[in-house]
């Protein structure tokens, strides 16, 4: 079989090439020919096709995402911003924390276990690549209806894959989300977040600099995994026939990644490398072009040197392979021996595959012939930029006008009891232990707070009490009603959740899950959401440090609800002061902080009881969120409350029921307004705290000082959840609530 060399390409300009099958458009193919001054070789075509795919190049989202940079709030805490593998923030005491959330949606639909497992593997490597020790993971998950056939197919595999890979790596899973909604049927969302810690001086970047430096590929051997995964899977929607694209899914080996992590950390500690990149989507194509592009501008690679699991792979396939657990390091020749020694100790394969030069070109040879000669920036950073048309869908105004305000509400005590139980037992609000107990939360011994608490929190390491807290949130129904506000509400909720554990919010990551960018309605949702998020980050002073876009989450014409998942990271000086939500004692006073308005559009109540989605979401109030956060942070630091919980899905009723269940005791609420609004409104910037009689005055004064409304609503104690309101009085035993809360998921997924 003849090799398609650069010389051959020059000599045969009219050769037919499968650019369309590889996912490129006609104008993109034409542009490649202009860049190179000839047709691309088949290897070059493979590289451009994967690197210019939506997933790798962000071609549809770039013009909108630049707002995160343009509108970035000024902060000294940001050490590494967007554009690198992950953002890095200063958390004090010389420590830095890196974190990021990413998606692996399409592979998880095709092969749930491996899709989810390799999603964890990929995000962990991104964190490792920054020079950090990965210390925790989180998994925001979204599925079709809990009782749907396909949810039965994908959920158990996805959960097992996340647990199987994450547990074997030794990373505690400290939180995440599980949301069920019709719109995710056929398009489950598997987002994975990882956090890593390091000292400031340990930060590493993906740069290949220093002419004469060596390019070393290490980790697993390269096989046929996921070839074309990014371009074929993530950049096109599924057709209605379902998961036929099986061969493109990557298969992970967490044991190999675990030893790779330990090997890398030893390498980092000895300061013997100049740059490092992990091999994720687009494998070697991505690593080499990005390293070369970021560095002095030139690199020569001998592709024959790549260790292969499958000797029949063509050079194009080697370049596109997405085999897992591989990294690429740049080092000075004098450090090679020591590098190889450390790899040998951990039994990690390592081989020199190239050298850095100052040619300004990325050249690759195979069997002595040149098969790639490209300017690396055109592959890695100068991909197509689309200005996709966007327009508000015709149905949006009618949707916004269709308020839930007039839907039938409970009036009698029995109806209230039924409503409480229906919501508490509904899949989105029910106990998630069936899922979360499949994850190790203890490994590394630094977990201070984990799901179902408001935010996951880990101590940096055991030589300090300093810690970081993270929450990921998104209410996609709110975002459907109003994408601009919905994105702001997602940020608000994550920000509030972090503060509810006593940590100070510092930085943001995001995973933007949307339908097809070729649909102007989806593109409108996307542009509105990004604008809303960027504006809110600026107002709250928390910069976006990095994130991920996942487009094409739709089957046929129906897109998923716009789902911009927002992750907020915060810092706490002493993890021992953190807040949690279980009621620890009887006789505590319950106080609602924040203002409750009659806001039910898009609420859990409207969704669960009436299957209704319409109206306008709750109005965000970023200044109120900021002041509430100040109250909660001070309350934690100074020991001013005994428990705290943010209010969100399911309103006050859900929050207080959760506090009762976690604390294993009852509570009595005495509401001054109508019970329905008090219990199920989903107004923003609210939390409920429990205080001792001695703490009460101090907490109320603190709230007043920050302009946060505070209302005493009840007390803890007894064995029932009791509500006394002017219009109704009812009571439910905590045992009954527990039964209903914990029965739902096992009934659906235990076989």
Partner 1 sequence: MSPRVGVVTFPGSLDDRDAQRAIRLAGAEPVALWHGTTDLSKVDAVVLPGGFSYGDYLRAGAIARFAPIMASIIDAANDGMPVFGICNGFQVLCESHLLPGALTRNDHLHFICRDQKLRIENTTSAFTSGFNTNQEIVIPLKNGEGSYIADERTLDELEATGRIIARYIDGNPNGSRRDIAGITNEAGNVVGLMPHPEHAVEAGFGPSLDGLTFFTSVLSRLVNA
Q: Applying CB under 8 A, does 349 fall inside the site for partner 1? A: no
Nearest to 5 by CA among 467, 387, 372, 272: 372
Q: Applying CB under 8 A, does 164 fall inside the site for partner 1? A: yes
**Nearby residues of 614 by Cβ (< 8 Å), 6 or more positions away:** 399, 400, 401, 402, 403, 404, 481, 601, 602
Query: Where does this chain touch partner 1 (CB under 8 A) — which range of 163-171, 204-212, 379-387, 533-541?
Result: 163-171
Q: What are phi and psi of 607, to 5 degrees?
A: -70, -50
Q: Applying CB under 8 A, does 501 fall inside the site for partner 1? A: no
751 catalytic residue (yes or no): no
Q: Which residue lies nearer to partner 1 by CB, 260 or 544?
A: 260
Q: Applying CB under 8 A, does 639 fall inside the site for partner 1? A: no
Q: Applying CB under 8 A, does 133 fall inside the site for partner 1? A: no
CB of 640 to partner 1, least distance (A): 19
Query: Where does this chain touch partner 1 (CB under 8 A) — which range of 209-217, 322-330, 444-452, 622-630?
Result: 444-452
Q: Which residue lies nearer to partner 1 by CB, 302 or 435?
A: 435
Q: Applying CB under 8 A, does 439 fall inside the site for partner 1? A: yes
Query: Where does this chain touch partner 1 (CB under 8 A) — which range of 237-245, 354-362, 440-448, 481-489?
Result: 440-448
CA atoms within 13 A on the CB side of 255: 1
| Active-site residue identified among 64, 104, 607, 645 | 104
- Give, in order, the Cα–Cα distances in Å from 103 to each of 123, 154, 488, 564: 9, 16, 20, 11
576 catalytic residue (yes or no): no
Rounded CA separation 113/156 (Å) = 8
Q: Which residue lies nearer to partner 1 by CB, 254 or 354?
A: 254
CB of 268 to partner 1, least distance (A): 17
Rounded CA separation 492/318 (Å) = 44
User: Which residue from 35, 148, 160, 336 is in contact with partner 1, where contact means CB under 8 A?
Assistant: 160
Q: Applying CB under 8 A, does 309 fall inside the site for partner 1? A: no
User: Which residue from 448, 572, 622, 652 is in contact with partner 1, where contact means CB under 8 A?
Assistant: 448
Nearest to 591 by CA among 709, 502, 705, 501: 709
Total residues belonging to the chain: 751
Footprint on residues 254-273 left by partner 1 (CB under 8 A)? 254-256, 258-259
Q: Which residue lies nearer to partner 1 by CB, 153 or 610?
A: 153
Nearest to 436 by CA among 697, 177, 60: 177
Q: Is 294 helix (H, G, I), strand (E, B) or coil?
A: helix
Nearest to 327 by CA among 252, 251, 250, 218: 218
Burial class from Cβ neighbours inside 10 Å (0-12, 13-18, 19+) for residue 365 reads buried
Q: Applying CB under 8 A, does 45 fall inside the site for partner 1? A: no
| Active-site residue identified among 55, 607, 612, 645 | 55
Alpha helices by DSSP H, 611-692: 622-637, 651-663, 675-680
User: Which residue from 81, 170, 384, 452 is in contact with partner 1, where contact means CB under 8 A?
Assistant: 170
Q: Could you check whether the bond before residue 452 is cis, i.e. omega within 30 degrees of 0?
A: yes
CB of 442 to partner 1, least distance (A): 4
- Give the helix/strand (H/E) hosting 544: strand 544-550
User: Which residue from 103, 151, 285, 446 is in contact with partner 1, where contact means CB under 8 A?
Assistant: 446
User: Which residue from 31, 125, 245, 459 is in contact with partner 1, where contact means CB under 8 A?
Assistant: 459
CB of 207 to partner 1, least distance (A): 30
CB of 654 to partner 1, least distance (A): 24
CB of 462 to partner 1, least distance (A): 6
Gap between the terminal Cα atoms of the chain: 52
Residue reference for tokens 């907020």: 568
User: Which residue from 3, 340, 399, 443 is in contact with partner 1, where contact means CB under 8 A?
Assistant: 443
Q: Applying CB under 8 A, does 444 fall inside the site for partner 1? A: yes
Q: Applying CB under 8 A, does 336 fall inside the site for partner 1? A: no
The CA dihedral of 625, 631, 635, 637, to the nearest 10 degrees, is 80
**Residue numbers at the binding site for partner 1 (CB under 8 A):** 160, 163-164, 167-168, 170, 253-256, 258-259, 346-347, 437-448, 459, 462, 575-576, 750
Query: Would you please indicate which residues are annotated as catalytic (active-site) residues?
Result: 55, 104
């Amino acid at each position: 079989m003849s090799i398609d060399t650069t010389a051959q390409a020059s000599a045969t300009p009219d050769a037919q090439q499968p650019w369309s099958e590889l996912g490129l458009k006609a104008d993109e193919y034409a542009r490649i020919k202009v860049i190179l001054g000839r047709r691309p070789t088949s290897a070059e075509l493979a590289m451009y096709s994967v690197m210019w795919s939506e997933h790798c190049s962000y071609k549809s989202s770039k013009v909108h995402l630049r707002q995160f940079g343009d509108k970035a709030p000024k902060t000294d805490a940001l050490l590494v911003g967007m554009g690198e593998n992950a953002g890095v923030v200063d958390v004090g005491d010389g420590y830095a924390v890196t974190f990021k959330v990413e998606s692996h949606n399409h592979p998880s639909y095709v092969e749930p276990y491996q899709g989810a497992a390799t999603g964890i593997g990929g995000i962990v490597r991104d964190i490792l690549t920054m020079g950090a020790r990965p210390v925790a993971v989180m998994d925001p998950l979204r599925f079709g209806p809990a009782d749907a056939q396909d949810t039965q197919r994908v959920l158990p595999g996805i959960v097992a894959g996340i647990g199987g890979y994450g547990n074997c790596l030794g990373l505690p899973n400290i939180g995440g989300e599980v949301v069920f909604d019709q719109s995710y049927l056929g398009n489950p969302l598997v987002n994975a977040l990882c956090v890593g810690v390091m000292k400031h001086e340990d930060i590493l970047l993906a740069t290949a600099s220093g002419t004469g430096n060596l390019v070393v590929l290490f980790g697993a051997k390269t096989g046929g995994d996921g070839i074309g995964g990014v371009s074929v899977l993530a950049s096109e929607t599924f057709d209605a026939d379902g998961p036929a694209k099986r061969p493109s899914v990557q298969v992970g080996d967490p044991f190999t990644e675990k030893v790779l992590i330990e090997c890398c950390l030893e390498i980092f500690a000895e300061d013997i490398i100049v740059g490092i990149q992990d091999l994720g989507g687009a494998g070697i194509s991505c690593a080499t072009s990005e390293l070369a592009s970021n560095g002095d501008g030139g690199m020569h690679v001998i592709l024959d040197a790549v260790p292969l699991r499958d000797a029949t792979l063509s050079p194009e396939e080697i370049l596109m392979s997405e085999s897992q657990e591989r990294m690429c390091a740049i080092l000075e020749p004098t450090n090679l021996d020591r590098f190889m020694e450390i790899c040998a100790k951990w039994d990690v394969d390592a081989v020199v595959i190239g050298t850095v030069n100052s040619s300004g070109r990325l050249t690759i040879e195979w069997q002595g012939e040149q098969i790639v000669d490209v300017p690396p920036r055109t592959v890695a950073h100068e991909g197509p930029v689309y200005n996709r048309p966007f327009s508000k869908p015709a149905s949006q105004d009618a949707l916004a006008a269709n308020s839930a305000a007039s839907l039938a509400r409970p009036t009698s005590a029995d109806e209230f009891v039924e409503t409480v139980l229906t919501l508490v037992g509904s899949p989105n609000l029910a106990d998630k232990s069936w899922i979360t107990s499949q994850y190790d939360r203890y490994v590394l011994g630094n977990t201070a707070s984990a799901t179902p608490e408001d935010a996951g929190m880990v101590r940096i390491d055991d030589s300090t009490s300093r810690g970081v807290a993270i929450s990921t949130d998104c209410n996609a129904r709110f975002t459907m009603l109003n994408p601009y506000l919905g994105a702001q509400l997602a940020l608000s909720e994550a920000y509030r959740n972090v503060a509810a554990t006593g940590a100070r919010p510092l930085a943001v990551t995001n995973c933007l899950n949307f339908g097809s960018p070729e649909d102007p309605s989806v593109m409108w949702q996307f542009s509105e959401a990004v604008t809303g998020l960027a504006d809110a980050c600026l107002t709250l002073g928390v910069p976006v440090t990095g994130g991920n876009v996942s487009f094409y989450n739709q089957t046929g014409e129906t897109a998923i609800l716009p789902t911009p998942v927002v992750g907020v990271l915060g810092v706490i000086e002493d993890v021992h002061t953190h807040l949690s939500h279980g009621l620890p004692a009887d006789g505590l006073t319950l106080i609602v902080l924040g203002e409750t308005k009659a806001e039910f559009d898009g609420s859990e109540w409207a969704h669960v009881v009436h299957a209704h989605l319409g109206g306008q979401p709750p109005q965000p109030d970023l200044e109120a969120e900021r002041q509430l956060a100040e109250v909660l942070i001070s309350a934690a630091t100074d020991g001013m409350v005994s428990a705290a919980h943010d209010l969100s899905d399911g309103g006050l009723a859900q929050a207080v029921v959760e506090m009762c269940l976690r604390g294993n005791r009852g509570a009595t609420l005495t509401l001054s307004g109508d019970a329905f609004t008090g219990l199920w409104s989903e107004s923003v910037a609210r939390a409920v705290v429990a205080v001792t009689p001695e703490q009460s005055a101090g907490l109320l004064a603190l709230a007043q000082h920050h302009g946060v409304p505070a209302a005493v609503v009840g007390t803890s104690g007894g064995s029932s959840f009791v509500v006394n309101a002017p219009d109704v009085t009812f009571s439910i035993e905590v045992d009954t609530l527990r039964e209903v809360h914990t029965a739902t998921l096992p009934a659906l997924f235990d076989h």
